[in-house]
Each structure stands twice: as structure tokens, then as C-alpha cells.
Amino acid sequence: MTLQPSPAVCRACQSGTRLPLHISTAFQPIVDITTRSVFAYEALVRGPEGQSASWVFEQITEEAHYFFDQECRITAIRNAARLGVDTRLSINFLPNAVYDPKTCIQATLRTANEVGFPLDRLIFEVTEHESVLDQAHVRHIIDTYRAYGFTTALDDYGVGHATAQLLLAIQPDLLKLDLALIRGVEADPWRQALIRSHLGFAQATGMLVIAEGVETVEEARALAALGVTHMQGYYFARPGFETLPEVPEERFEQMR
């Protein structure tokens, strides 16, 4: 799917604000345990020499949030294309940094067209780094992105600002369960029951559940037994700075 970007710009594009630093990307695989393959790579912002996301956020002023959001998308797509990503690419976005979704997506469209990255392989995750001030506006963003062929996700569900209210408001395609719900799940009947209820809700609404922060084979086995088919975390692979980490086959074998 190739769409020609519109020349329209918004007031944020014309403000002259720029980032105070260069950024780059680390990539972490999201796996499908049923096919033993990489479902998507999540693009994680990093500093120019691999500095952490928290280090990068400390450098970004409120006035630069719009350009930071734009630069993260553009950098992720360019790096993914350069590395030959042939799966889906998942990119976090700051909902409060999007003024008009049709206008603010133009740089993303231009970049994807320039490097030949298919739009239907892009996933946009609503991140919980900030409170969503206007849920109706975020739902408008989600609806607009779907019209472009993008998949949408709610990140870090179960903690912070990623609440059930936000889930009901935006109705994403993917639901990413936060590591706080995953940690120690193999020994916690309450966590197991909660995750089972999320899976039932997802099945009824057509969502796909992804478990984040899976760190041990015990957690992976317990999640698989509950019916979770898509997982992400250190157990499978750590993020790779400007590289695409491979998932060792033994990780799947150990889950049996």
C-alpha cells in the first residue's frame, strides 16, 4: 500500500523547534510461539551511542515533544529498512504530541514511501509515558491510523495510565500486558486468573494479547498454558542497538 503524503502542515511543524540531540533505535523481537517466529520488532528509542530511553527522555523538553515523536517514527522506519526488517515494525507514539493525525502522519508516510517500507506492516503503540488528556482525540488518531492500514496497540496495559477506561475508549487491535502482570505468573493464581480474563475479553473483541517482560522459561510456560501465543522479553531476546536480535530455537524448545 503506497499513499502519497499531503503537503499540509500544522502549527507544530512550523514552530521551528528541533531536538537537542540525535537519536537512534534498538530493536526487540515480539515472538509468535505457535509458529516459532518473529511476529514483529519493537523499535525502542536510544541515544546516539546506545544510551537508554530514560536518558533520551531527560533531554527532551515539553516544547520538543512533537518533533521527538516525529523523529522517533522516522528514525525507526529508516533503521528498520536499512536492517532489512521483513516482519511488522512496532513504534511507540506520544498521543498528546499528535495535533491532527492526518497532518502529523505525513512525515511517516514520506519516510515509509522513500525507503519502501509497507504501511500495512506498521504497528503504532499508544505509550503510557504520559497521561492521555483527551481520550476522544486518541480514538480519532486510532481510527485515522486504521484507515491508512496501520495496526494499533495499547502498550504497558495494567499499570500507569494504560487503564481499562483507555482500553475501552480506543479499542486497539493489540493489547500488550505490562510486565507487572507477568512477573512470577507461574506461581500466582491471581495473576493467572486476571490474564485468563484478558484473553477471554480479547477473544470476544478480536484483539490479540501480547505478554511483555517475559524473563524466565517458567513465565513463558505458564503464559503458554494460559493461552498466550505472543510474547516479548529478555527470555527470548534483549533489545539490540541498531541490530535485529535473533531468537534462539532453544528458547522455544525449553518451553515444552
Residue 8 belongs to some domain of the structure: no
- 19-56 pLDDT, tens digit per residue, is 778 999 999 999 999 999 999 999 999 999 999 999 99
Residue range 154-158: mean pLDDT, rounded: 89
Residue 18 belongs to some domain of the structure: no
Task: List the CATH number of the domain containing 114.
Answer: 3.20.20.450
Q: How far apart are CA 38 and CA 231, in angstroms?
A: 10
Q: How far is CA 177 from CA 24, 68, 208, 211, in A?
A: 26, 25, 11, 5
Domain membership of residue 46 as a residue range: 24-253
Q: What is the pTM of this model?
A: 0.90
- 166-216 pLDDT, tens digit per residue, is 899 899 999 999 999 999 999 999 999 999 999 999 999 999 999 999 999
The residue ranges of DSSP E strands in 81-182, in sequence order, are: 88-93, 122-126, 151-157, 174-177
Q: What is the count of structural domains for the chain?
A: 1
Residue 17 belongs to some domain of the structure: no
Residue 5 belongs to some domain of the structure: no
Can you give the pLDDT at residue 14? 45
